[in-house]
Chain A
């Protein structure tokens, strides 16, 4: 209402000042001299509106000067000028003529320093000038400013500027913005309904932002339903939508009933009325139960020193005497009905898109798990070696990437170098570990677990000693920054896409090595029956060494990829080790498709649970692990179980 009124006032001022146009801006400024020089957010509005509505070409320059705190008032006659410092004095320029008036001492002048609130108002007024500014960037900035802070007074200037807009792109933006402002601020209901209908089905956040205020409801209580209100729904106290307690609170809030006496109030009243060692004839020492307190309070109320207790009967009577309902803030029922319908449509579409977004998220999480687990699928899945230091290989890969970036500054090149480097480092580490430790323990898998755990804590501490405890950055190349934005709901960052692609590459690479190369053939032979493989001329020791090295090397590369989005710390591996084992166990040991299925299941499951309870990722992980424990009950060998002789026992 106030806005409409002010807009009307502005138009009125415009009419008045139309006569004064010949006289220029200065008389207008003088008209509002007091408010301008006071520059208070509360009173400045008419002055700014008048200037903006004057239609004078110099008004824009004047407002810009004002915002920049370059407007000065000459104390002698109270006239306003643009001031510029020169040689210790200030050169004043007239707004209307653009002529230099003269140079003045600072003591003769008063600088106008609008505060941030006032500056924001001036900026809004400036927008309408900027909308028709010759410079494209200024027009775009003006549009952005309207988007940030929509205002009904801007609707007319915006509409006026659409037809003359030369840039097609900006024109579309302007038209869209005009629709949005129409929804919110147009006086004509039919035009608003049309605009809402036009925009329904649009997924953008700004459409929802324009529609949502229209359907905001407010709960009210009254003796009877007011006729002019746009009532949504009548509420029955004691129903599911409105409990009796809430209904009574509503009555209290609208001053229709006396507030309830809370336990604290009773206590305070009792404490205030202690008479000797008794309150209302009850000894203070006995007031440690509620019944005695109520009794004592009733006595106080009867004596008139405290307000009477509100009984359930009082509450029921008050509730019965009033009606409860929800009203829209928006007075027009036509608009709210259309807006509700449009929002419903949008909600549905948003829901579908959110599912899509969630799916993308889940796929990306699954590919991270897959990448972390693929090395383990080789060492644990194929060889049956529990490598608790697998997480530390991931960590070493990430640190290798960090070290490479210290020497090669170009991010793209450094990542290209880091990937084979990480593979080389962790491959060598894996081979050394296999030769020195693991090969002695092939018959004792539980001891392997403990020995590799020893290596794991030693490596973690070593990394801490070398690189310190703070996180080290592993910066992604610039072309991986940003995200692929489908619309306001669905977006996915390029790094995640890159990780997905990397996971696919590794899947292909793994399949190629296992199925198409000599090494893969030997690996499978040694896994199934080492003695038989040995008698066929395969050196099982060498094959085991290479297999373990390969698995470790892939973990190193995964480390580079993970380091791009996670913080590189010495306990980076801890975050992935349990999940990696889970992935392999759930998916099924000894089968790359199993690892893929396991990663997919865990990723989707985790995102699904997070979606149901978005505030709590910890709970999501907890429930996921519990689910996995139960899942193992039904498929102890994982989703894809090996059959026949390959299954071992």
Chain B
């Protein structure tokens, strides 16, 4: 089975080879383990980009292959980040508190330690009590389980509600966007139990680890690369089998798949929930590298950007999603970081910090209009693949169906 899977999907092997070469190269060039050509902050940027690639793979699975344009996957991403952030913050604060309480004459009771941690963490929102959602934050194992459990459950419930009432197409997009907005607004409250708009901070410090950030950043980089490789393999395995054929069928003509006797809702729900879990894992790896998470990150616009990456990379092919996410997010970092040279026009100087968004927006419209296959379409030119001629008809009548121009 495994042999035939690789044989059927040579692109997976190529992708994994490139990914490991990239990881190796960055390690050699890094400050922590190599010759120090790449700064630690850039290693973190690359690591974060890998996490974004992973969530883009998830997005491609749910949008490019199943035809569900979800504008809520960044909410799952953020939730994953919150889940790991809770443990990181609790444990780090605990170490500090235990340290400082040990200075006192009387050794502290465990209740006193918990109270002191609560005061430290929730002081900013004027509280000192642990909300019940922090009940498991003392345990890394439980919190790691929650990373997939909480977003997975949310996706399951939401998806079940949405799919069973046959909400499809743009309505589903709007509904997922509403869900994201509701979640972000909820987290913005101070009494949400997750520190309101302060979010969770100091996540870059691993509790109990004395190694410098140079080293830790490489660890996270590896972990992100590993997660991306595994996620990519999983996604490729899913879309290459019979399951993959069914979800592509749902994308192109949902009604016909239903008439063939498949339970469309179950397939959609499975894909939606699975991708939510992948997104959550990506988030759990992303935010320790970013160091801070707050509800702003989960605003609906982030999820739309995710769709933008996938569309620019080329939806309906997994490597397209990875390329799109890496390309746009790194380019965005380059432009907004002030590294791009200004363009003097004589009467006006184009500062890219101000104009990058305009460029992104316009190029996005252009890609949608003129290059629906995205960057991934370039690979078809290289490999000299020709589209099957459908005489102008599209793959299916559904809103998410691929059109002839973008199919490959």
Contact A453 B308 (CB under 8 A): yes
B173: Cβ under 8 A from any A Cβ: yes
Contact check, B169 vs A446: say whether CB atoms are below 8 A apart: yes
Contact check, B165 vs A633: say whether CB atoms are below 8 A apart: yes
Chain A residues lying within 8 Å of B408, measured Cβ to Cβ, are none
Q: Which of A271, A446, A616, A618 contacts B170 (CB 8 A)?
A: A446
Query: With A290-B111, A458-B357, A625-B178 in contact, do A270 and B106 touch (Cβ < 8 Å)?
Result: yes
Residues of A within 8 A of B354 (CB): 461, 464-465
Q: How far is the CB of B373 from chain A (nearest CB, A)?
A: 12
Chain A nearest CB, measured from B179 CB (Å): 6
The stretch among B141-149, B184-192, B285-293 that forms the contact with chain A is: B184-192
Q: Which of A47-55, A301-309, A437-445, A470-478 contacts B (4 or more CB under 8 A)?
A: A437-445
Q: Considering the chains assembled together, what is the distance between the CA atoms of A440 and B372 in angstroms?
A: 12
Judging by beta carbons under 8 Å apart, are B307 and A284 in contact? no
Are the C-beta atoms of B308 and A454 separated by less than 8 Å?
yes
Do the beta carbons of B369 and A457 come within 8 Å of each other? no
In the assembled complex, B158 has its CB within 8 A of some CB on chain A = yes
Q: Is A619 an interface residue (CB 8 A)?
A: yes
Within 8 A of A (CB), among B139-195: 158, 161-162, 164-167, 169-171, 173-175, 177-179, 181-183, 185-186, 188-189, 191
Q: Interface stretch among B31-39, B210-218, B359-367?
A: B359-367
- Indicate if the CB atoms of A437 and B189 lie closer than 8 Å: no
Q: Residues of B contacting A388 with CB < 8 Å?
A: 304
Question: In the complex, what's the smallest C-beta–C-beta distance from A639 to chain B, in angstroms?
Answer: 15
- Nearest residue in B to A635 (C-beta to C-beta)? B165
Chain A 571-582 interface 0/1 with B at a Cβ cutoff of 8 Å (1 = within): 000100010011
Interface residue? A569 (CB, 8 A): no
Is there a chain B Cβ closer than 8 Å to A274's Cβ? yes
Judge if A585 is at the interface, Cβ distance under 8 Å: yes
Residue A120 at the B interface, CB < 8 A? Answer: no
Between B108, B356, B361, the greatest number of chain A beta carbons within 10 A of the residue's beta carbon is seen for B361
Q: Is A451 in contact with B365, judged by CB distance below 8 angstroms? A: yes
- The answer to whether A578 touches B167 (Cβ under 8 A) is no
Please name all residues of chain B whose beta carbon is closer than 8 Å to the beta carbon of A634 when the two chains form the complex. Answer: 165
A-B interface pairs (CB < 8 A), number: 159
A288 & B107 in contact (Cβ 8 Å cutoff): yes
Residue of B nearest to A287 (CB): B106
Q: State whether A449 touches B365 (Cβ < 8 A).
A: no
B368 within 8 A of A: yes
A619 with B186: in contact, given A450-B364, A451-B369 (CB under 8 Å)?
A: yes
Closest to A582 in B: B178
Does the CB pair A445–B170 fall under 8 Å?
Answer: yes
Contact digits for A257-290, partner B, Cβ 8 Å, 1 yes 0 no:
0000001000100110010000100001101111
Would you call A336 an interface residue if the criterion is a C-beta within 8 Å of the partner chain's C-beta atoms? no
By DSSP majority rule, is chain A's interface helix, strand, loop, or mixed? helix
Instruction: Judge whether B368 and A578 touch: CB under 8 Å.
Output: no
A28 to B164, CA, bound (A): 91
Q: Which residues of B contact A279 (CB under 8 A)?
A: 106
Q: Given A449-B173, A578-B181, A628-B178, does the pair A454, B107 have CB atoms closer than 8 Å?
A: no
Residues of A within 8 A of B22 (CB): none
Give the Cβ gap from B250 to chain A, nearest Cβ, in Å. Answer: 14
Find out whether the CB atom of A622 lies under 8 angstroms from the CB atom of B186. Answer: yes
B138 at interface (Cβ–Cβ under 8 A)?
Answer: no
Chain A positions 515-535 with a Cβ under 8 Å from a chain B Cβ: none
A547 CB to nearest B CB, Å:
18
Whether A284 pairs with B107 at a CB distance below 8 angstroms is yes
List the A side residues contacting B365 at CB < 8 Å. 437, 451, 454-455, 458
Determine whether the beta carbon of B361 is less than 8 Å from that of A457: yes
**B175 near A632 (CB under 8 angstroms)?**
yes
From B182, which residue of chain A is reached at the shortest CB distance?
A: A625
Majority secondary structure, B binding face: helix
Q: Which residues of B contact A287 (CB under 8 A)?
A: 106-107
B358 engages A462 (CB within 8 Å):
yes
Partner of A450 from B165, B174, B189, B308 at Cβ < 8 Å: B308
CA separation between A465 and B358, bound complex, in Å? 10
Least distance between A9 CB and chain B CB atoms (Å):
48
Measured between beta carbons, the chain A residues less than 8 angstroms from B4 are: none
The answer on a CB contact under 8 Å between A618 and B361 is: no
B166, B356, B362: the one within 8 Å of A636 (CB): B166
- Bound CA span A632–B164, Å: 11
- Closest chain A CB from B68 CB (angstroms): 10
Is B127's CB within 8 Å of the partner chain A? no
Residues facing A in B96-149 (CB within 8 A) are 104-112
Rounded to whole angstroms, the CA-CA distance of A4 and B99 in the bound complex is 62
Contact mask A610-632 → B, CB, 8 Å, 1/0? 00000010110110011011101
In Å, the complex CA distance between A437 and B311 comes to 16
B158 contact set on A, CB distance < 8 A: 629
Q: What chain A residues lie within 8 Å of B85 (beta carbons)?
A: none
- Tell me whether A271 and B104 are in contact in the complex, defined as CB-CB below 8 angstroms, given that A446-B173, A618-B185, A618-B186 are known contacts: yes
A459 to B108 alpha-carbon distance, docked (Å) = 58
Q: Complex Cα distance A267/B115, Å? A: 15
| Per-position binary interface string of chain A over residues 374-400, scored 1 when its CB falls under 8 Å from any chain B CB and 0 otherwise | 000000000000101000000000000
Tell me the smallest distance from the CB of B352 to a CB of chain A, in Å.
Answer: 11
B69 in the interface, Cβ–Cβ < 8 Å?
Answer: yes
Nearest-Cβ distance from residue A618 to partner chain B, whole angstroms:
5
* A267 with B106, Cβ < 8 A, contacts A632-B165, A633-B165 known: yes
Nearest chain-A residue to B181 (Cβ)? Answer: A578
When chains A and B are docked, how far (Å) is the Cα of A464 from the Cα of B354? Answer: 8
Q: Does B92 contact A (CB under 8 A)?
A: no
Beta-carbon contact of B178 and A445 below 8 Å = no
Contact A465 B355 (CB under 8 A): yes
Q: Are B185 and A457 in contact (CB under 8 A)?
A: no
Complex interface: chain B residues within 8 A of A453 (CB): 304, 308, 361, 364
Does B399 make an interface contact (CB < 8 A)? yes
User: Complex: how many Å from CA A270 to CA B108?
Assistant: 12
A293 close to chain B: CB less than 8 A: yes
Q: Judge whether B300 is part of the interface by a CB distance below 8 angstroms.
A: yes
Task: Point out the residues of chain B lying under 8 angstroms from A633, CB to CB.
Answer: 161, 164-165
Min CB gap A275→B, angstroms: 12
Contact B109 A289 (CB under 8 A): yes
| Min CB–CB distance A294 → chain B (angstroms) | 11
Task: Decide: A288 near B108, CB < 8 A? Known: A445-B169, A450-B308, A633-B161.
Answer: yes
- The answer to whether B394 touches A578 (Cβ under 8 A) is no
Question: In the assembled complex, which residues on chain A have CB atoms less than 8 Å from the CB atom of B186?
Answer: 618-619, 622
A619 to B355, CA, bound (A): 35
Specify which of A271, A455, A456, A625 is in contact with B179 (CB 8 Å cutoff): A625
The reply to whether A457 and B107 contact each other, CB–CB distance below 8 Å, is: no
CA A458 to CA B356, docked complex, whole Å: 9
Q: A629 and B69: CB pair below 8 A? A: no
Give the chain B neighbours of A465 by CB distance below 8 A: 354-355, 358
- Find out whether the CB atom of A284 lies under 8 angstroms from the CB atom of B106: yes
Closest to B71 in A: A449
Contact B361 A629 (CB under 8 A): no
Query: Which of A288, A443, A456 has a CB less than 8 Å from the CB of B403?
Result: A443
From 262 to 279 in chain B, residues with beta carbon under 8 angstroms from any chain A beta carbon are: none
Q: A454-B364, A461-B357 are in contact. List 6 more A-B contacts (CB 8 A).
A: A441-B368, A446-B69, A457-B358, A462-B358, A622-B186, A632-B175
CB pairs A–B below 8 angstroms (15 shown): A270-B106, A293-B106, A293-B109, A445-B399, A447-B311, A449-B173, A454-B365, A457-B357, A578-B300, A581-B174, A581-B177, A581-B178, A618-B185, A621-B182, A622-B183
The 6 closest A-B pairs by CB, nearest first: A458-B361, A454-B364, A461-B357, A625-B182, A288-B107, A271-B105
Chain B positions near chain A (C-beta within 8 angstroms):
69, 104-112, 158, 161-162, 164-167, 169-171, 173-175, 177-179, 181-183, 185-186, 188-189, 191, 300-301, 304, 307-308, 311, 354-358, 360-365, 368-369, 372, 394, 399-400, 403
